[in-house]
Structure 1
């Protein structure tokens, strides 16, 4: 284990590297393996730690304000794009070659966990196969994640959405919606949110959009439409024959 107590340009004999333009004294990097890379964009403010727990991990952190801890397993990638903010500690974990991506201009509240893996394997007793393989997580740009939210493996959150306090996120959440609950569900569509705080940014009342500057993320919610084949009822052959006979349509044997 190698501990680098500040984020600064660094390279060791195990080919672990840190690429940055300025030293960040409020975060540390821990290397357990080899061939790991941390790339930090100039102007980023990071508080916490990045832990490369295996080999071949890559972490990209844009120009943002991130507070928390990132844990990367074998062959994993974590990407936090520009203008992401955290109110308080955020935990991000990735294992077994998957990725976690947070889009630009996301707003993360306190005590958020983004877990692309379960930390420990679970097996089927009869087949002995794994039943909890990790899956990549993607959080779209300009997403607001409320406090105490847990985002689980395979989650895909569309840009411009809001995830309510204490929610457990699994599966796909569309863009520009409010989703909440455990399990999570969409509670409102066609929404847009902006960063100005209700108390800290004038005016103290903001009854409509004329009181804020609108970001580029004002879009209608796009819903996936299933194909006709998915909606069509399955009709067994003998039922097809009887229906045609009732309609007076002759069929050849």
Structure 2
């Protein structure tokens, strides 16, 4: 295993490489255990803390750049066999964020994602679970996609197979799994859409003037003020709607049968 405490241009005899025109030396560590792994860092990236672990072969970790006025990235990223983690531009974290992709999956964070403290995003469950009778695996790893301008609040967990649309908010302590639309608030355990047609902006309520922000005139609007596309509702929500429709249909049939008997 090769352990590096500097992020700069690098290549070893096992095909592992770092593509980083800028050198980063503060609070960084990169572990290459396998071969043919690649770390790509935008020259304008702003890294407060990075732990990058390439456990297997053919992994890719890509870090996007930053605008000068935005915060920094703090990440503990684990990349498994044939897997990738791609982080867009202007992604910020309050504290260390756990990012994991294994078993040929991809984890993607779009541009301008804001991540609060103690957040975990992963494509796997870390350990396999099997059906006792058949011996088959029941918790397969799945891709995760977080859209642009998504706010993930404190202690939220993003589970394998999750997709979150642009401009959405994931509430505190939420456990998100499934497909969620754009411009909505997702909250709960398990998480569900609790409000649609919302937009959020980065200015802090106490750190950015004006200190009362009653309407949209108090912030500079980003390009993510859009109505929620209802067709992107999670599968679980759609199934619940169909179940309600079926229950109503059975009730009406019983009522009709009673009227016919009378």
Same fold (TM over 0.5): yes
Provide the secondary structure at the position in 2 that maps to 1:210: helix
**Is 2:70 the partner of 1:63?**
no
Which residue in the other structure is 1:30 paired with? 31
Which residue in the other structure is 1:87 paired with? 94
Q: What CA distance in whole angstroms lies between the structure 1 residues aligned with 2:111 and 2:17?
A: 24
Which residue in the other structure is 1:153 paired with? 160
C-alpha displacement of 1:136: 0.3
C-alpha displacement of 1:173: 1.2
Q: What CA distance in whole angstroms lies between the structure 1 residues aligned with 2:150 and 2:206?
A: 21
Say if 1:40 and 1:61, in contact at 8 Å, map to a contact too.
yes
C-alpha displacement of 1:68: 2.0
Q: What CA distance in whole angstroms lies between the structure 1 residues aligned with 2:57 and 2:38?
A: 10
Say if 1:24 and 1:45, in contact at 8 Å, map to a contact too.
no
Which residue in the other structure is 2:126 paired with? 119
Cα offsets for 1:18-42 (capped at 9, x unmatched): 0011111121111000000010001
Q: What CA distance in whole angstroms lies between the structure 2 residues aligned with 1:151 and 1:189?
A: 19
In angstroms, what is the RMSD of aligned CA positions? 1.9
Q: Which has the larger radius of gyration?
A: 1
Provide the secondary structure at the position in 2 that maps to 1:51: strand
C-alpha displacement of 1:94: 1.0
Which residue in the other structure is 2:140 paired with? 133
**Is 2:111 the partner of 1:104?**
yes
Q: What CA distance in whole angstroms lies between the structure 2 residues aligned with 1:211 and 1:118?
A: 42
Which residue in the other structure is 2:55 paired with? 53
Dislocated runs of 4+, deviation >6 Å: 230-233
Q: What CA distance in whole angstroms lies between the structure 2 residues aligned with 1:178 and 1:67?
A: 24
Q: What CA distance in whole angstroms lies between the structure 2 residues aligned with 1:66 and 1:35?
A: 25
C-alpha displacement of 1:48: 2.3
Q: What CA distance in whole angstroms lies between the structure 1 residues aligned with 2:12 and 2:112?
A: 33
Which residue in the other structure is 2:250 paired with? none
Provide the secondary structure at the position in 1 that maps to 2:217: helix
Aligned residues: 234
C-alpha displacement of 1:69: 0.3
Q: What CA distance in whole angstroms lies between the structure 2 residues aligned with 1:94 and 1:105?
A: 21
Cα offsets for 1:86-116 (capped at 9, x unmatched): 0001000111000000000010000000021
Which residue in the other structure is 1:236 paired with? none
Q: What CA distance in whole angstroms lies between the structure 1 residues aligned with 2:146 and 2:101?
A: 14
**Is 2:144 the partner of 1:143?**
no
Say if 1:76 and 1:99, in contact at 8 Å, map to a contact too.
yes
